[in-house]
Structure 1
Amino acid sequence: MTSAETGRRQDGPAGTGHVPAGAAGEAQDDYALTPVPEEARYSWFSVAVQRFGQVSSFQQFMVGAVLGYGMTFTDAVIAITVGSVLLEVITILMGVAGVKEGMSTSVLARWSGFGRKGSAAVGMLVALSLAGWFGVQNGVFAQGMHDFAGWAPEWAWALVGGVVVTVISVHGFSVMAWTAYLTVPAFLLLAGWSVVDVLVGHSLDDLLTGAPPGPALSLAEGTTLVAGAFILGALMSPDMTRFNRRPSDVVKQTLLGVTLGQYLIGLTAVLLGHAARTADIVGIITGSSGLLGTLILVTAIVKINDWNLYSSALATVNSIDVLFGRRVPRRSVTLVIGAAGTALSAVGMADHFTGFLETIGVLAPPVAGIVIAEYYVVRRYRAGLERARHGVRPPERLPDWLPLSLVCWATGALAGEYLDAGIPAVNAVVAAFALYAAVGLTLRHRRNPPARQDALPDRLPDRTA
């Protein structure tokens, strides 16, 4: 490891306070702490395929099956529509900030409401959440492979799955893009084949108009499931969109990816829930299709789990940088987190963290509300960030903590957890956004009052003398 990679905090051209590792070193590290330069950006299609891969995952199948088990098809369409629109707004706003600044979520948080150490807190929350979900999904992969190929124990499959995904994530965005090129079409083809196999013999009219086979879900409950399933992905949008070339790319890929992912996968799963009369989508597909279902499981998990690990590593790198003044390579951090998540899933411990992960998940949505409020409304550091795009460093004299963000963070989390009306995840985002925007604008107005406009005199002085 070079001194540039682990150097102590010094002034650097990217404004992150580090000795620059050089263009090659930054590229190899996927610009974990520095803005992604224009020449390192990717085509719209390369990023869009990965976005679609995120929102067309097995998780969307599970959500759709739950909706189909407890709602009519029409109500499920409404729930998916409302939840998708709300997600798209948050995803686009976060994603546009990412493409403009070229920064990951946790690094962007330094100049978007949280300060240096506040961004480390955001990073630790994200790192813990996504690393945990990496382990949980790797455990699902291992269980599915063991059920199909019983000759190997679950822990062996967990090791295989964890190693493969870790290797992909270590190599970064370019290899993850190629992985998406392969797994997304494969997933869609295999899932389509399996869906046809399950739906054969069922009347489409009965599936579209029939009553739900399970206990009824309200429209609010259904919308909550849709919005809550991807809210962490919406928060982490800058991790991906910093590789886009223009804001319009973010809008296109979000509208296309989220809409198709939610409707194509979600509504298909609704029909499966009606046809099979169960919400167990894993059992529906793997049980009816054998090898086909197992391959679906593999492709679905690989194309989402590499991003769980990748974003977790980015957030960890930022937290270590802020808290200890040390720059650690993203690849090394990815290896450590991947090894830990793989080991936990191999010994069966990852599943026990699901409840804990869902609990700390209420802390994620308010972060998006605060970042959006600061970046688009309060704009305390926007001038400095805009100067940085033209080769000048972002503001270096950042506060460690911004008390306002901590108060708004807590308020949003409480609103999401205890407010009965509405959608919890959206309540959390809106509450944090509204409070931060209102107080932030008031404080900015007090610090920088508008210049006084003196009244013109009744008559101009005589200058002829």
Structure 2
Amino acid sequence: MAGEPRRQRRFIFDDYSIEEVPIVERYGLYNVFLTLSASFGAIAVLFAGGVLGGGLNFTNAIIAVMVGNIILSIIGALSGVIGAYSGLSTYVGWRLPFGRVGGKLLGFALITITTGIGWFAVESWFFGVVMNEIYPNNPFFSVWAAALWGGALMILSTYIGYRALSFLSYFILPQHVWLIAVGLFLAISLHGGWGAVWTAVPKSHMSLADAITATVGLYIAGSLIAPDITRFAKRPRDSVVAWVLHMFVFYPFLILGAVAIVLLTGSVIITEDMLKLGMGLGILLIIVLGQWIINTVNLYSGSLSFTNAIPIRRDYSSIIVGIIGTLLAAYWGYTAGASLAPFESFITVLGSLLPAAGGSVFAEFFIVKPYLEGVKNPFERFKLIPGKEYPELNLTGILSFAAGALAGFFLTVGIAAINAILVAFIVHVILAYAFKRTEIKYELGKYVYMGGVVK
């Protein structure tokens, strides 16, 4: 496979959904950096900056963002390097700590339902709402119609796969950086300069602990599903450098730029502030392109998870999952006024379980495989070999995930996501050691891995 020409594959749009990405299909540091930076939370980061600016002065906002960045850089680097070493998507990699059935069920519940269908639908609906606000009297831009054609564009991008994400990132990342830079320049010029930023008093109060929690919570899901992108990195160190760079260059500039604009202009909704500054076209570009790539990533991860759970090509699964999400968004738009709060609460609860899964995965890759099973070579730790038998269910992973999820929900100190990761990690290591020492059977059932065969 090493000598295979680029893209000369059975399924040109399948994106190696259930097999390792070959080296000839991988990309360098610059491409991975741009794709990560453009894919994770561009418009969400701006709105998060608005929230921080509404409750923190600029000094405390810097502290909150930097502390959150350190935490997220560690988690994303650990997660991303697993993807680069294995070449596997997040959910196929989960077959090692959870077993095939366990990985399928967790991936389907935590990603296909929450991200691929749930948040894809919410973001498509939001896209329709904003387009309708910009063009209120045009039927083509009614909420339900804009949700339909907007969702269709996002499905098309996801159908193509990583190449579409990579292509879009070359345009969307520079556009977001340029727009926030222009907004910041205008705000500073019109509202008293940098001195006004440092002395501005927020309208409300947010504790530093809550701000750090919010900063971490904004990006924790992206940190844990980073392998969906970093599996395309040529070298594992590229995935680490790309993630850390985007966390300390791209992320702080956008979120702190938004904080400064909010502190100077007064509204916690960053798009309203930019409209006040005369950036009407800029707002349209942020919404259209930002929502496009963010929701493409939502659906892309959902399609990978769906393919891992159900034997269907990834490009086909992106259409199925995307259509369900788009129809939901159009329905909400058509019924105008129906509250999304119960649905958002449901998918938020499911999504909050993701950090526990991350803790189990980290424990399996960094502790269990090298120190308890003797697999020192990191390229071999999450290696799935065609024709070899693997367990259907791994009790170590399932039980440690459950412990981490309970800790995330019920521990009242610290950051919930970090509690879930740490508890799942510790319990996974303890259980793996105990099961191996006592020779208790913890791997149930067997299946033969068939590589990239998708029926």
Q: TM-score scaled by structure 1? A: 0.84
Distance 1:285 1:390, change over 3 A: closer
Task: Pick the aligned partner of 1:258 from 247, 251, 273.
Answer: 247
Question: 1:193, CA displacement in angstroms?
Answer: 2.3
- With 434-443 and 384-393 compared, the bigger mean Cα shift is at 384-393
Per the alignment, residue 36 of structure 1 pairs with 21
Task: Pick the aligned partner of 1:57 from 42, 62, 66.
Answer: 42
Return the alpha-carbon distance in structure 2 between the equivalents of residues 416 and 279 of structure 1. 29
How do residues 309-458 of structure 1 correspond to structure 2 at under 5 angstroms? 309-320=299-310, 327-348=311-332, 351-352=340-341, 353-379=343-369, 383=375, 393=385, 396-447=388-439
Question: 1:206, CA displacement in angstroms?
Answer: 2.6
Residue 367 of structure 2 contacts residue 429 of structure 2 at CA under 8 Å; is this kept in 1?
yes
Residue 56 of structure 1 contacts residue 262 of structure 1 at CA under 8 Å; is this kept in 2?
no
> Given residue 169 of structure 1, which amino acid in structure 2 is its aligned partner?
T
Distance 1:246 1:381, change over 3 A: farther
Residue 39 of structure 2 contacts residue 165 of structure 2 at CA under 8 Å; is this kept in 1?
no
> Given residue 322 of structure 2, which amino acid in structure 1 is its aligned partner?
G
Partner of 2:307, secondary structure, is helix
Distance 1:395 1:64, change over 3 A: farther
- How many correspondences in the alignment? 420
Task: Pick the aligned partner of 1:224 from 193, 206, 213.
Answer: 213
Please give the per-residue CA displacement for 1:103-136, whole angstroms capped at 9, x wherever unaligned: 001000111x101111012211211111211111
Distance 1:85 1:382, change over 3 A: farther
Partner of 1:279, secondary structure, is coil
Question: 1:254, CA displacement in angstroms?
Answer: 0.8
Distance 1:390 1:167, change over 3 A: closer
Task: Pick the aligned partner of 2:131 from 129, 145, 148.
Answer: 145
Q: TM-score scaled by structure 2? A: 0.86
Return the alpha-carbon distance in structure 1 between the equivalents of residues 374 and 174 of structure 2. 40
Question: 1:153, CA displacement in angstroms?
Answer: 0.9
Distance 1:71 1:143, change over 3 A: same
Return the alpha-carbon distance in structure 2 between the equivalents of residues 155 and 129 of structure 1. 21
Return the alpha-carbon distance in structure 1 between the equivalents of residues 237 and 397 of structure 2. 29
Asked whether 1:135 is paired with 2:121, we answer yes
Return the alpha-carbon distance in structure 1 between the equivalents of residues 83 and 373 of structure 2. 15
Per the alignment, residue 143 of structure 2 pairs with 154
Please give the per-residue CA displacement for 1:349-407, whole angstroms capped at 9, x wherever unaligned: 79442222212122111111100000110116774997869998268432222223222
Return the alpha-carbon distance in structure 2 between the equivalents of residues 153 and 314 of structure 1. 31
Return the alpha-carbon distance in structure 1 between the equivalents of residues 417 and 383 of structure 2. 38
Partner of 1:180, secondary structure, is helix
Return the alpha-carbon distance in structure 2 between the equivalents of residues 383 and 119 of structure 1. 21
Asked whether 1:303 is paired with 2:297, we answer no
Per the alignment, residue 181 of structure 2 pairs with 192
Distance 1:67 1:389, change over 3 A: closer
> Given residue 78 of structure 2, which amino acid in structure 1 is its aligned partner?
L
RMSD between superposed Cα atoms in Å: 2.5
> Given residue 53 of structure 2, which amino acid in structure 1 is its aligned partner?
G
Residue 57 of structure 1 contacts residue 304 of structure 1 at CA under 8 Å; is this kept in 2?
yes
Return the alpha-carbon distance in structure 2 between the equivalents of residues 23 and 376 of structure 1. 34
Question: 1:71, CA displacement in angstroms?
Answer: 1.1
> Given residue 371 of structure 1, which amino acid in structure 2 is its aligned partner?
V
Distance 1:381 1:64, change over 3 A: farther
Residue 83 of structure 2 contacts residue 227 of structure 2 at CA under 8 Å; is this kept in 1?
yes
Residue 86 of structure 2 contacts residue 382 of structure 2 at CA under 8 Å; is this kept in 1?
no
Please give the per-residue CA displacement for 1:267-315, whole angstroms capped at 9, x wherever unaligned: 1111122123232223323565223211111121122211111010000
Task: Pick the aligned partner of 1:101 from 86, 89, 113.
Answer: 86
Residue 200 of structure 2 contacts residue 264 of structure 2 at CA under 8 Å; is this kept in 1?
no
Question: 1:444, CA displacement in angstroms?
Answer: 3.0
Return the alpha-carbon distance in structure 1 between the equivalents of residues 103 and 382 of structure 2. 24
> Given residue 101 of structure 1, which amino acid in structure 2 is its aligned partner?
S
Return the alpha-carbon distance in structure 2 between the equivalents of residues 304 and 95 of structure 1. 18
- With 401-410 and 166-175 compared, the bigger mean Cα shift is at 401-410
Distance 1:384 1:312, change over 3 A: farther
Return the alpha-carbon distance in structure 2 between the equivalents of residues 416 and 287 of structure 1. 40
Per the alignment, residue 455 of structure 1 pairs with none
Return the alpha-carbon distance in structure 2 between the equivalents of residues 372 and 391 of structure 1. 15
Bigger radius of gyration among the two: 1
Return the alpha-carbon distance in structure 1 between the equivalents of residues 410 and 63 of structure 2. 24
Return the alpha-carbon distance in structure 2 between the equivalents of residues 201 and 241 of structure 1. 41
Structure 2 unaligned segments of length 5 or more: list them: 2-6, 334-338, 441-455
Distance 1:82 1:343, change over 3 A: same
Question: 1:438, CA displacement in angstroms?
Answer: 2.3
